[in-house]
Amino acid sequence: MSQDRRYSFEFFPTKTDAGHEKLMNTARQLATYNPDFFSCTYGAGGSTRDRTINTVLQLESEVKVPAAPHLSCVGDSKADLRGLLTQYKAAGIKRIVALRGDLPSGMGMASGELRYANDLVSFIREETADHFHIEVAAYPEMHPQARNFEDDINNFVRKAHAGADSAITQYFFNADSYFRFVERVRAAGVTIPIVPGIMPITNYSKLARFSDACGAEIPRWIRKQLEAYGDDIQSIQAFGEQVISEMCERLLVGGAPGLHFYTLNQAEPSLAIWNNLKLPR
């Protein structure tokens, strides 16, 4: 869509036919904004494998927006991964989001032949050369399981050197954390684009649970204001839209190479921010 910046939206595969139809309707609505691609998540330990595959293929073939499946190495053998790569390549998929992945509850230590995301990136390159544009994850506020920031930066550098083309960050609410992360990895010699992941604010209790689980910090001033609104959903959404729009504007002015919206399978919250920013269509 954009030669200078890229804009994308993320979905998660649903468990029901009704949920899937809602997802596809959301995708069709977002497609009218000509995003560069849609991504689709992959459940812990590959638990949504078939639904992810089906959703990705339908987005690519019916909605006509390039689709980028998430692929994780936790719980999958090289043969499993090779099969998925072959299927995606045959379907014309050109982009993959390569992740270590989360362990399902009760799995214990990681299983599978590849332990880390950089191993998965190397494997994809070995199997498919340059067919896929490989995205990896970045954590401006540090991966919740990292021992310290230095280890986390080193992990990211390994993914980049293994063959990643670009990165998408975990969501955050402090633009300074993004700029500082980019500054540190540039100092470490990594030059790939790092696109901020954007989470619209629509429901405070859900956001707090998500954020506590994934290590995303909600600044105290935002948390206190959202708490003050109580059950006033309209005020929460209006405040959230303003806060996120202002942060995105600062990110773009500061040189961010695009935005990746975590839609939670809803169109309106992301499009409100898009329209506030007057992004191209």
Is 1 a member of any domain?
A: no
Report in angstroms the alpha-carbon separations of 189 from 156, 163, 185, 186, 257: 11, 14, 6, 5, 18
Q: Does 254 reside within a domain?
A: yes
Q: How confident is the model at residue 134, as a pLDDT?
A: 98
Could you read off the pLDDT of 215-232 as tens digits, one per residue? 899 999 999 999 999 999
Answer yes or no: is 223 within a domain: yes
Domain count, the chain: 1
In a domain, 71, yes or no: yes
The per-residue pLDDT for 1 is: 38
Is residue 14 a part of any domain in this protein?
A: yes
What pLDDT does residue 47 have? 53
Angle between helices 17-31 and 49-58 in degrees, nearest 10: 40
CB 95 within 8 A of CB 132: yes
pLDDT given for residue 104 in this prediction:
54
Retrieve residue 152's tokens. Answer: 């986390």
pLDDT of residue 43: 66
Instruction: Collect the ranges in the chain with pLDDT lower than 70.
Output: 1-3, 43-48, 102-112
- Counting Cβ atoms within 10 Å, is residue 177 exposed (0-12), middle (13-18) or buried (19+)? buried
Residue among 114, 122, 121, 130 at smallest CA distance from 78: 114
Report pLDDT for 2.
43
Whichever domain contains 35, its CATH number is 3.20.20.220
The pLDDT of residue 135 is 98
Residue 169 within a domain = yes
The whole-number pLDDT of residue 77 equals 86
Q: Mind telling me the catalytic residues?
A: 10
Task: Note the pLDDT of residue 220.
Answer: 96
Q: What residue numbers bound the domain in which 159 lies? A: 6-277
Q: What is the rounded CA–CA span in Å between residue 167 and residue 185?
A: 12
